């Protein structure tokens, strides 16, 4: 199959592009390298440095098919940043995605797989979230992803586009063979920041908020290994032949921020320096999925079920790449 992968130079997109290539598919990556890295583009993938706002170039690439499907990872993706620049987030994520959806319809691309998010939900209780839990985004970022899910729904109803929405919970870890990892500039994600603080490469970690309605007062998240996410994309692409689907994608286990700090110390064997800081705006208290639907319908099973194993792959990549992709 020939797949177009937007955002394939980024953290999740590069791991999924690698998995597609390993499954024997042809991959062409579209990325503007705003947060991604040329060195993260897997060997064997073709690459166009292009911004999805550039509709002329985008349509030229889409016209140069046929494409069997598009996987759409490119986005602004930070909850906290979206609270500071809400209209930029809403505009950017909506316009880039609408350009792509419209282009896919125009050039008869049959499958569209979209990186949605747990940030559609704003859970304050401790029940796991199913696909049917109420949508109530806690941030403009989450709202932008919900609007794109709705746009895909209309593209199917009016034009028959088959789509999959995968609502990832927190992507973490790195390729087990060390070929790819997580490198954002600036980094805002808990696990890579905590690893660097433990390694003495950063100041003490700031832990945002200790007064959430959770047992230890810190936020709870469901961490899923990025290679397990990648495998779920392969299974979902196969499934699209029978209809559009929406799945929550996480392991179903919740870890508080304090649990994560402890696991970082276990994996690194070092003391992690940290301080309390005020809440970060836009953060829901608890995001944990009930993974029943994706497990039963796709047979998806995460290979990484222990948080220490997930962190260990990220730790090995950080050790081997102290400057991330810079210099590679
Ligand atoms: N990382 C997570 O935990 C997580 C969780 C839920 C959902 N998601 C979603 O998964 C996707 C990938 O996330 P990530 O963590 O890999 O982010 P990332 O920032 O590492 O990757 C995004 C990629 O998209 C590219 N890009 C951004 N805007 C673009 C544009 N206008 N044109 C072309 N390329 C553009 C960037 O250069 C980057 O390579 C995003 O859509 C994000 O919202 C991520
Ligand atoms: O320096 C830090 C960084 C993070 N956190 C906390 O750690 C938790 C996890 O934060 P982070 O790693 O930034 O991930 P999320 O904000 O949960 O967002 C990620 O996971 C979401 C799905 O749950 C995706 O939609 C987003 O794109 C992705 O960035 C949150 O409580 C943060 O407040 C800290 O306390 N200190």
The CATH number of the domain holding residue 286 is 3.90.25.10
Least confident range of 116-130, 148-162, 197-211, 270-284? 116-130
The answer, yes or no, to whether any atom of ligand 2 lies below 6 A from the CB of 12, is no
Ligand nearest to the CA of 119: 2
Same-domain status, 235 and 287: no
The answer, yes or no, to whether any atom of ligand 1 lies below 6 A from the CB of 10, is yes
Ligand 1 center to residue 167 CA distance, Å? Answer: 13
Same-domain status, 128 and 141: yes
pLDDT over 90 (residue 123): no
Return the percentage of the chain with pLDDT > 90, whole number: 97
pLDDT score of 162: 98
In the block, tokens 């992803």 appear at 145
The answer, yes or no, to whether any atom of ligand 2 lies below 6 A from the CB of 52, is no
Q: Is residue 180 part of a domain?
A: no
Q: Which pTM does this prediction carry?
A: 0.98
Give Cβ neighbours of residue 175 (< 8 Å, ≥ 6 apart).
Answer: 15, 18, 181, 226, 227, 313, 317
pLDDT score of 127: 82
pLDDT over 80 (residue 138): yes
pLDDT score of 185: 93
Ligand nearest to the CA of 75: 1
Ligand 2 center to residue 190 CA distance, Å? Answer: 6
Give Cβ neighbours of residue 307 (< 8 Å, ≥ 6 apart).
Answer: 223, 253, 255, 259, 260, 263
pLDDT score of 18: 98
* CA separation for the pair 317, 313 (Å, rounded): 6
Give catalytic residue positions. Answer: 141
Q: Which two tokens stand for residue 190?
A: 């808990």
The model's confidence at residue 85, banded by pLDDT at 50, 70 and 90, is very high
Q: pLDDT (tens digit, 9 = 90+) per residue, 189-236?
A: 999 999 999 999 999 999 999 999 999 999 999 999 999 999 999 999
Ligand 2 atom nearest residue 79's Cα: 16
pLDDT score of 190: 98
Ligand 1 center to residue 240 CA distance, Å? Answer: 22
pLDDT over 90 (residue 244): yes
Mutate to test the pocket of ligand 2, among 74, 146, 254, 280 (most ligand atoms within 8 A of CB): 280
Ligand 2 atom nearest residue 260's Cα: 7
Residue 128 three-state SS = coil
* CA separation for the pair 253, 183 (Å, rounded): 25
Closest CA to 97 of 52, 60, 150: 52
Closest CA to 50 of 104, 98, 9: 9
Which residue's CA lies nearest to atom 32 of ligand 1? 51
Residue numbers of the domain that contains 217: 190-221+253-320
The model's confidence at residue 328, banded by pLDDT at 50, 70 and 90, is confident
Mutate to test the pocket of ligand 2, among 142, 203, 208, 211 (most ligand atoms within 8 A of CB): 208
Same-domain status, 291 and 143: no
Same-domain status, 118 and 15: yes
* CA separation for the pair 204, 198 (Å, rounded): 8
Same-domain status, 208 and 236: no
What mean pLDDT comes out for the span 307-328? 94
The answer, yes or no, to whether any atom of ligand 1 lies below 6 A from the CB of 93, is no
Q: pLDDT (tens digit, 9 = 90+) per residue, 140-166?
A: 999 999 999 999 999 999 999 999 999
pLDDT score of 125: 72
Number of domains in the chain: 2
- Average pLDDT score over the chain: 97
ipTM higher than threshold 0.90: yes
Q: Is residue 328 part of a domain?
A: no
Give Cβ neighbours of residue 107 (< 8 Å, ≥ 6 apart).
Answer: 59, 62, 63, 65, 67
Which residue's CA lies nearest to atom 1 of ligand 1? 171
The answer, yes or no, to whether any atom of ligand 1 lies below 6 A from the CB of 181, is no
Same-domain status, 268 and 153: no
Same-domain status, 120 and 209: no
Same-domain status, 57 and 117: yes
The answer, yes or no, to whether any atom of ligand 2 lies below 6 A from the CB of 129, is no
Ligand 1 atom nearest residue 141's Cα: 43
The answer, yes or no, to whether any atom of ligand 1 lies below 6 A from the CB of 109, is no
* CA separation for the pair 127, 285 (Å, rounded): 12
Which residue's CA lies nearest to atom 29 of ligand 1? 74
CA distances from 313 to 194, 221, 318 (A): 14, 18, 9
* CA separation for the pair 163, 112 (Å, rounded): 5
Same-domain status, 212 and 306: yes
Same-domain status, 135 and 197: no
């Amino acid at each position: 199959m020939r797949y177009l992968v937007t955002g394939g130079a980024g953290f999740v997109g590069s791991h999924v592009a690698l998995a597609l290539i390993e499954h024997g598919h042809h991959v062409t990556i579209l990325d503007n390298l705003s947060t991604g890295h040329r060195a993260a583009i897997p060997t064997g993938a073709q690459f166009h440095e292009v911004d999805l706002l550039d509709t002329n170039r985008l349509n030229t690439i889409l016209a140069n098919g046929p494409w069997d499907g598009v996987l759409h990872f490119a986005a602004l993706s930070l909850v906290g940043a979206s609270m500071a620049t809400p209209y930029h987030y809403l505009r950017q994520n909506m316009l880039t995605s609408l350009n792509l959806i419209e282009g896919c319809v125009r050039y008869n691309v049959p499958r569209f797989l979209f990186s949605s998010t747990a940030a559609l939900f704003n859970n304050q209780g401790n029940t796991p979230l199913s696909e049917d839990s109420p949508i109530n985004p806690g941030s403009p970022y989450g709202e932008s992803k919900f609007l794109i899910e709705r746009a895909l729904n209309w593209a199917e109803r009016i034009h028959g586009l088959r789509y999959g929405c995968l609502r990832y919970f927190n992507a973490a870890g790195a390729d087990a063979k060390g070929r790819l990892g997580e490198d954002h500039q600036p980094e805002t994600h808990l696990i890579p920041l905590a690893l660097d603080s433990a390694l003495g490469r950063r100041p003490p970690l700031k832990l945002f908020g200790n007064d959430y309605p959770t047992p230890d007062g810190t936020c709870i998240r469901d961490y899923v290994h990025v290679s397990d996410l990648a495998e779920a994309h392969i299974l979902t692409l196969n499934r699209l032949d029978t209809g559009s689907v929406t799945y929550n994608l996480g392991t179903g286990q919740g870890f508080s921020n304090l649990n994560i700090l402890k696991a970082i110390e276990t994996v690194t064997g070092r003391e992690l320096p940290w301080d309390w800081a005020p809440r970060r705006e836009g953060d829901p208290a608890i995001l944990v999925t009930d993974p029943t639907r994706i497990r039963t319908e796709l047979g998806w099973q995460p290979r990484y079920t222990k948080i220490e194993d997930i962190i260990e792959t990220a730790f090995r990549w950080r050790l081997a790449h102290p400057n991330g992709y810079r210099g590679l």
